[in-house]
Amino acid sequence: GFSSGQSLHSQQEAVRRVTVIGGGQMGSGIAQVAAAHKHEVTLVDVNSEALKRGQAYMVKSLKRVAKKKHSDDEAAQSRFVDEIMGRVTVSTQLQDAVGRADLVVEAVVEKLQVKQELFARVSEAAPGTAILASNTSSLPIGKIAEGLEEGQRRRMVGLHFFNPVPQMKLVEVVRTEEADAQVVERAVAFVRAIGKEPAVCKDTPGFIVNRLLLPYMMEAVRLLERDVASPRDIDTAMKLGAGYPMGPFELCDYVGLDTIKYIVDGWHKDGAGLKGNPLFAPSAKLDELVKSGRLGVKTGKGFYDY
Ligand code: CAA
Ligand code: NAD
């Protein structure tokens, strides 16, 4: 386990080996960016198909960068992609995959119990000096960590990335009351080392960005439910009238409607300080889309068809 007797030196060492758990849109993006910045990366998923999709997504994204970087040199483009992908290993064996990690970033489905069970296993299998991080959108880090022993809880932080990970420059670093200052410092250093800008914040529901973004997205869905305007007109309005790069429905589809539903349902039922808040009341429209498998861009259909 993680003990306070460990030397300051080993705790402050820079992160080199990163294990990302969950090979979906976020996990594959985090793996890509870490590998592009010279880290050794292992990407883990329970589903080997998800790992294949994740790899394909990374290659596609890197090819786009390669084309910009080496515009008329196809050999250099391939070398660029191959070199980065050469640092990414995929695995379905959680135990082995975290065994040598300096940092573990969890990016599985937004369900408390799944994350709690995962961290119970990860905290046993990862080296005692590893930082344990969750990319959760909405769950308190302290709640995910509540079943772990104190020494484990001290090395747990939130590292909240934004979608699409390669393009979005922010990472929220969530500092729980129990987290060691050095763990938070190392996490901040990692964020800078992968070319992102950290914003450190307390462990409150939605941290900074989602606490402001989710009310906006849900209010857009309520406008639609009241038939004020079509998704297309609402999106156009916010892009051209407020300067947002995507409208709220494009953004909902991009994030994933299942993820949005888990976030707002969780807060409405149980979220510290948000329980019963009408901003996060269930939406019949959202429920219906999720029930019919229209989860957004990742399934090819959401508010829009792709
Ligand atoms: N790897 C690395 N960098 C890449 C890249 C890749 N694969 N692809 C593009 N880039 C770089 C580009 O070179 C460019 O960099 P510079 O500005 O330095 O030139 C930058 O990323 C932007 O690239 P694009 O050309 O793709 O930008 P765009 O203008 O087409 O915008 C967008 C695309 C960034 C997605 C934009 O539409 C946007 O910001 N949308 C809103 C996204 C958003 O709000 N996300 C947050 C969702 S909420 C969330 O994630 C939290 C949660 O918990 C739910
Ligand atoms: P996703 O559905 O694209 O991917 C989730 C992946 O996790 C799937 O491939 C699934 O097979 C895998 N998985 C599920 N249980 C697992 C387990 N026990 N062990 C290993 N793998 C498992 O989801 P996503 O959009 O990548 O979101 C992942 C996490 O990131 C969620 O917590 C979400 O709230 C958060 N997040 C999402 C966004 C977004 O915009 N989508 C942004 C920031 C944070």
What number is the ipTM of this complex? 0.95
**232-257 b/e (C-beta count within 10 Å ≥ 16 → b):** eebbebbeeeeeeeebbbbbbbebbb
CA distances from 199 to 175, 183, 185, 294 (A): 10, 15, 12, 33
> Among 151, 171, 202, which residue terminates a domain?
202
- For 10, other C-beta atoms within 10 Å of its C-beta total 11
- Same domain for 189 and 226, yes or no, is no
| In a domain? residue 106 | yes
* CATH number reported for the structural domain that contains residue 41 in this entry: 3.40.50.720
Indicate if ligand 2 lies below 6 Å from the C-beta of 65. no
| C-alpha of residue 147 to centroid of ligand 2, in Å | 21
Q: 172 an active-site residue?
A: yes
Distance (Å, whole) CA 255 – CA 183: 29
Cα Rg of the chain, angstroms: 20
Model confidence pTM above 0.90: yes
Task: Say which amino acid occupies 240.
Answer: L
Q: 134 an active-site residue?
A: no
Contact (CB, 8 A) for 140 and 113: no
> Among 169, 202, 235, which residue terminates a domain?
202
Based on the structure, what is the number of domains in the chain? 2
Indicate if ligand 1 lies below 6 Å from the C-beta of 123. no
CA distances from 7 to 64, 129, 184, 188, 267 (A): 43, 10, 16, 19, 39
| In a domain? residue 1 | no
| In a domain? residue 191 | yes
DSSP-derived 3-state class of residue 122: helix
- Same domain for 86 and 32, yes or no, is yes
| In a domain? residue 3 | no
pLDDT of residue 1: 43
* CATH number reported for the structural domain that contains residue 231 in this entry: 1.10.1040.10
| In a domain? residue 305 | no
- Same domain for 174 and 65, yes or no, is yes
Q: 277 an active-site residue?
A: no
Q: Which atom of ligand 1 is nearest to the CA of 164?
A: 35
**pLDDT tens-place string over residues 44-102:** 999 999 999 999 999 999 999 999 999 989 999 999 999 999 999 999 999 999 999 99
| C-alpha of residue 9 to centroid of ligand 2, in Å | 33
Residues of the chain with pLDDT under 50: 1-2, 4-5, 7-9
- Same domain for 232 and 114, yes or no, is no
- Same domain for 133 and 220, yes or no, is no
Q: Which among 106, 160, 250, 283 is annotated as catalytic? A: 160
| In a domain? residue 112 | yes
- Same domain for 56 and 154, yes or no, is yes
Indicate if ligand 2 lies below 6 Å from the C-beta of 159. no
- Same domain for 197 and 61, yes or no, is yes
| In a domain? residue 306 | no
- Same domain for 49 and 193, yes or no, is yes
Q: Which atom of ligand 2 is nearest to the CA of 110?
A: 32
- Same domain for 55 and 94, yes or no, is yes
| In a domain? residue 207 | no
- Same domain for 217 and 139, yes or no, is no
| C-alpha of residue 96 to centroid of ligand 2, in Å | 20
Probe residue for ligand 1, chosen from 137, 167, 238, 255 as the CB with the greatest number of ligand atoms within 8 Å? 167
Q: 135 an active-site residue?
A: no
Indicate if ligand 2 lies below 6 Å from the C-beta of 157. no
Determine the structural domain holding residue 279 and report its residue range. 212-299
Indicate if ligand 1 lies below 6 Å from the C-beta of 163. yes
